Structure 1
Amino acid sequence: MSKAGQELGNRARKAPRRTYLLVLATATLGLAGGIGALNLVWAQADPERTGAHQAGERARLSPPPTRPITVLLIGSDADLLGQARNGAAPSGPANSDALLLARVDPAGALRLLILPADLAVQLPGEKPPQSLGSLYREGGPALASSSVAALLGLESGQPQRYVVVPRAALRSLVDGLGGVEMNLEQPLRSTDKTQNFEVDLQAGLQNFRGNQVEQMVRFLEPSLGEQGRRIRQQLVLEGLFQQLSRPEQGSRLPELLTQLAPQVDTNLSTGEALSLLSAATANPKQIRFDQLPLARPSKADQPLRQLQKSAAVPLWPKG
């Protein structure tokens, strides 16, 4: 077992009677405390520069954070925020089928870590491990954030922010940016009658609209499984940041974020989101994708991935 896994396991042994509600309450309090501390990270808005007539300038004028900020992005497999059921097969409660940690450093590269939704997590007081992607269903952003922090050995208070993005919000984001240009190396085709969902994407360099990007990130090929999905998630992220970094997007971002606000769940204010986007897209060539040290599956049909036993915490960020 990795040191990160031992940390979660030790917590379970030290507090075998700790209930799920106590774990969730502790995680929620941790998020609330982090929000108070972050008031010192962003410069306060100038009241003389606020107002609707300034909306086009806010993307440029939002000052960057004064130190690195880590954000957990949770992609929900429900179509809309608050939907009790997912849009996947098998049908059930909404899970997170995509998780991403983003570390925005105003003085360095943007660090991105795609987290495997099928990564094994041992919760305190729970005997069988469960997938990282199921934690959002069990305890929302608070439980997902605290579990990611424990697994990776993040510093206290991290991740400081979270964003939950259901599928409709992803489509709205892509369409609001005018599409995303990507080069798909091979065609993707599948039909799932249980979900009433079809994937039909041609290979080649093209501008993908929101529904096509959704097809790309939802497509699950038998040979690569979740690994192939993570590869396509990285392709989409690269395309999104390239599109966000274009000069003409600066004036669109405030209005786009306003439109997306009711579609997502986040503890980021609009000003903070603009600040992070401004810092993250300042140099699109300074984007670094990191990977977790995953152990090789012991068998072909192993349902959950494990971290390497020799992995030392903190697992991220390194270097």
Structure 2
Amino acid sequence: MISATAGALLAVSLSSTPLMQQKLSPEEAAVFSQQDLAKSNMRLPELTRPVNILLLGIKVLTSDLEEYPHYSNDVGYHALVNSFKGLSDTMLLVRFDPKNQKLTLLSIPRDTRTYVEDRGLTKINAANYYGGPAKSAKAVSELLGGVGIDRYIRVNVQGVEKLIDALGGVTVNVPKDMKYQDDSQHLYINLKAGNQHLDGDQVLQFLRFRYDNLGDIGRVQRQQLLM
């Protein structure tokens, strides 16, 4: 069975071309598979083979962009920006097998050091910042030995919140009490342990919390749990 969250993301990616969110050059577009995926219209029941989708979750702050040189100093904190030009703090390779109705997730830790075209050895989450989804897809493909990537989805934190709210929220088993405050980002996390229904803002708290013994690994586990 596919979760509501995963199903919504699949619907977004498979009902559009890989170029949905950004106009890519022919060279960049060639990174993504040009093979037919479905008989027509890209509907899930008509998929003819497994597909690999790269999911990039992006957080962009005013301090990350040159367009806001003094914003953080003026308002006293680093505000979120509705943009895709940032580090991909979440990287998931999602494989959907239509024949067996099976979804497989591979999380790629954001600090994984690998070769990024034109940048050399660096953290893989920087690929999106330097060259968008095509450069991210090439870095992931090469890291995994040349695996093909058919589609991509880029979603920022604002998009995640809207998606979850559009689904009417999601039920998640929060493994422990989560409480954290970061005034520099206006980030306030306050969740109680237990099985509960979370809205978009609460899901962001769940995903962005990483102040535990597992650090980023704990955050990766929560990303997979949500999917």
Identify the TM-score tier after normalising by the shorter chain.
0.7 to 0.9
Alignment-derived partner of residue 54 in structure 2: 72
SS in 2 for 1:74: strand
Q: Assess, with a 3 A threshold, how the Cα gap between structure 1 residues 124 and 139 changes in structure 2: closer, same or farther.
A: closer
Alignment-derived partner of residue 153 in structure 2: 163
User: Is 1:231 equivalent to 2:224 in the alignment?
Assistant: no
CA distance in 2: counterparts of 1:99 and 1:224, whole angstroms: 18
CA distance in 2: counterparts of 1:166 and 1:125, whole angstroms: 25
- Equivalent residues, number: 187
Letter in 2 for 1:41: L
CA distance in 1: counterparts of 2:124 and 2:174, whole angstroms: 28
Letter in 2 for 1:131: K
Alignment-derived partner of residue 3 in structure 1: none
Q: Assess, with a 3 A threshold, how the Cα gap between structure 1 residues 124 and 96 changes in structure 2: closer, same or farther.
A: closer
CA distance in 2: counterparts of 1:220 and 1:170, whole angstroms: 18
Contiguous gaps of at least 5 residues in structure 2: 1-23, 69-77
Alignment-derived partner of residue 202 in structure 1: 192
CA shift at 1:26, angstroms?
8.1
Summarize the alignment of residues 85-164 of structure 1 with structure 2, pairs less than 5 Å apart. Answer: 94-108=86-100, 109-124=102-117, 126=119, 129-155=121-147, 158-164=148-154
Contiguous gaps of at least 5 residues in structure 1: 1-23, 46-57, 238-319
Letter in 1 for 2:115: Q
Give yes or no for contact 1:77–1:166 (8 Å, CA) kept in 2: yes
Identity %: 31
Letter in 2 for 1:116: P
Q: What TM-score, normalized by structure 2, do the two folds share?
A: 0.73
Give yes or no for contact 1:42–1:65 (8 Å, CA) kept in 2: yes
SS in 1 for 2:152: strand
Give yes or no for contact 2:79–2:186 (8 Å, CA) kept in 1: no
In terms of fraction of residues, the more helix-rich structure is: 1
Letter in 2 for 1:71: I
CA shift at 1:64, angstroms?
3.0
Give yes or no for contact 1:77–1:87 (8 Å, CA) kept in 2: no
Summarize the alignment of residues 1-319 of structure 1 with structure 2, pairs less than 5 Å apart. Answer: 28-31=28-31, 34-35=33-34, 37=35, 40-45=36-41, 63-78=45-60, 94-108=86-100, 109-124=102-117, 126=119, 129-155=121-147, 158-237=148-227
Larger Rg, first or second structure (1 or 2): 1
In terms of fraction of residues, the more strand-rich structure is: 2
CA distance in 2: counterparts of 1:77 and 1:124, whole angstroms: 22
Letter in 1 for 2:48: T
Q: What TM-score, normalized by structure 1, do the two folds share?
A: 0.53
**RMSD of aligned Cα (Å):** 2.7
SS in 2 for 1:31: coil
CA distance in 2: counterparts of 1:236 and 1:138, whole angstroms: 28
- Structure number with the bigger relative contact order (C-alpha 8 A, sep ≥ 6) is 1
Letter in 1 for 2:31: L
SS in 1 for 2:104: strand
